[in-house]
């Protein structure tokens, strides 16, 4: 026989929790989970839509094509720029050992040494014609940088070529002075932190590299814009560019540890890798320029004189 009596303590009918209480708690918990899931999905959808709009804006400006063009002219101007850097500021302005302290660029050591040695050798007994031609070649990158800015900003006003060339000459000397100053800062910080443990040395060094990259990106963003913009209007895009440069360089250096590119490129491996690295740096830069362009109100900005 089965006797029917009072339910035991803790059971559904007469215990600590009754059926209505359990149902209500489950309902609240289910509602909370559904709300959290819906909120997460909304955030994901917003992020997806933002990413699609950003990629559409970049594609509309042909940023990878512009980056490839800038990479070509940077390669053509790199050796003359190295020559003028050594000529104006001496060998210490192009100290390969300082650059090699950053493991991100250790793979390019042979190429950097080659550029420095040729730049030092070219400064001996130079003629006036040689100075003029190398200066002209040095400015080609910055000249086409401004012209690329007219494409990225959809600038329709005609600009005289000699004015753009003059602005490129002025920026060339400004960039050379910046690199000389940046090299001195790196040397000074490396000297002060030489006794630091690695877990502290590398964060300090790469934080400094991020800061220097930001100032370089800000300088180039200010120049490439064909309008007179306020400094604060290009800060965010310059910061994103500097961070992208650092991340892309780290990813590039890391990928070289797990791949054997010599099987594919042979004796040209180092040169091709350097060209690829420059291209990715220009992709990061043009993406930052497009980002700044979409944050500006171009109607209220004045045109640059140079």
Residue with tokens 């209505």: 20
Between vectors from CA 280 to CA 136 and to CA 100, what angle results, nearest 5°? 80
- For residue 103, which of 246, 200, 260 has the smallest C-alpha distance? 246
- For residue 174, which of 138, 150, 210, 205 has the smallest C-alpha distance? 138
The list of the chain residues with pLDDT below 50 reads: 1-17
Q: Which residues are 227's β-sheet partners?
A: 303
Distances (CA, A) of 182 to 27, 166, 176, 243: 62, 24, 10, 17
Q: How many CB atoms lie within 10 A of CB 149?
A: 22
Q: How does pLDDT run across 183-234, given as a tens digit for each residue?
A: 888 888 877 887 888 888 888 888 999 999 999 999 999 999 988 888 888 9
pLDDT of residue 68: 95
Exposure string over 46-85, b if 16+ CB within 10 A, otherwise e: eeeeeeeeeeeebeebbbeebbebbbbbbeebbbbbbbbb
- Which residues are within 8 A (CB) of 240 and not within 5 positions of it... i.e. 6 or more apart? 287, 288, 291
Q: Checking phi first, is residue 10 left (phi over 0); if not, alpha (psi -120 to 50) or beta? A: left
- For residues 140 and 136, give the distance between their C-alpha atoms in angstroms, rounded to a whole number: 7
What is the phi/psi pair of residue 110, to 5°? -60, -40
Distances (CA, A) of 161 to 58, 158, 217: 27, 9, 24
pLDDT of residue 239: 95
- For residues 168 and 220, give the distance between their C-alpha atoms in angstroms, rounded to a whole number: 11
Residue with tokens 């310059």: 238
**Number of helices followed by number of strands (H, E) in the chain:** 10, 2
- For residues 74 and 81, give the distance between their C-alpha atoms in angstroms, rounded to a whole number: 10
**Rg for the chain (alpha carbons), in Å?**
29
The one-character DSSP state at 227 is E
Q: Which residues are 89's β-sheet partners?
A: none
- For residues 209 and 242, give the distance between their C-alpha atoms in angstroms, rounded to a whole number: 9
Is 239 within 8 Å of 214 (Cβ atoms)? Answer: yes
Taken as a whole, the chain contains a residue count of: 306
- For residues 284 and 112, give the distance between their C-alpha atoms in angstroms, rounded to a whole number: 22
Q: What is the DSSP secondary-structure string of 26-68?
A: HHHHHHHHHHHHHHHHHHHHHHHHHHHHHHHHHHHTTHHHHHH
């Amino acid at each position: 026989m089965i006797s029917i009596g009072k339910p035991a303590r803790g059971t559904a009918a007469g215990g600590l929790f009754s059926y209505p209480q359990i149902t209500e708690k489950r309902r609240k918990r289910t509602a909370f989970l559904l709300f959290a899931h819906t909120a997460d999905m909304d955030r994901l959808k917003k992020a997806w839509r933002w990413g699609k709009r950003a990629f559409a804006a970049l594609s509309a400006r042909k940023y990878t094509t512009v980056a490839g063009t800038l990479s070509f002219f940077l390669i053509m101007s790199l050796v003359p720029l190295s020559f003028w850097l050594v000529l104006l500021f001496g060998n210490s302005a192009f100290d390969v050992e300082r650059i090699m302290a950053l493991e991100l660029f250790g793979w390019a050591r042979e190429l950097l040494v080659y550029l420095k040695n040729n730049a030092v050798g070219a400064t001996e007994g130079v003629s006036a014609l040689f100075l003029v031609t190398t200066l002209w070649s040095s400015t080609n990158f910055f000249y086409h940088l401004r012209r690329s800015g007219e494409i990225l900003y959809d600038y329709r006003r005609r600009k005289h070529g000699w004015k753009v060339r003059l602005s490129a000459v002025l920026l060339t000397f400004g960039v050379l002075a910046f690199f000389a100053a940046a090299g001195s800062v790196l040397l000074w910080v490396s000297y002060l932190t030489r006794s630091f443990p690695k877990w502290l040395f590398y964060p300090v060094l790469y934080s400094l590299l991020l800061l220097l990259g930001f100032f370089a990106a800000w300088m180039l963003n200010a120049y490439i814009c064909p309008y007179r913009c306020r400094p604060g209007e290009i800060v965010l895009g310059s910061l994103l560019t500097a961070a992208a440069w650092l991340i892309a360089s780290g990813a590039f250096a890391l990928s070289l540890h797990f791949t054997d590119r010599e099987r594919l490129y042979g004796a040209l491996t180092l040169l091709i890798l350097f060209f690829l690295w420059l291209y990715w740096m220009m992709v990061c830069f043009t993406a930052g320029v497009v980002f700044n362009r979409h944050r500006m109100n171009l109607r209220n900005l004045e045109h640059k004189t140079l």
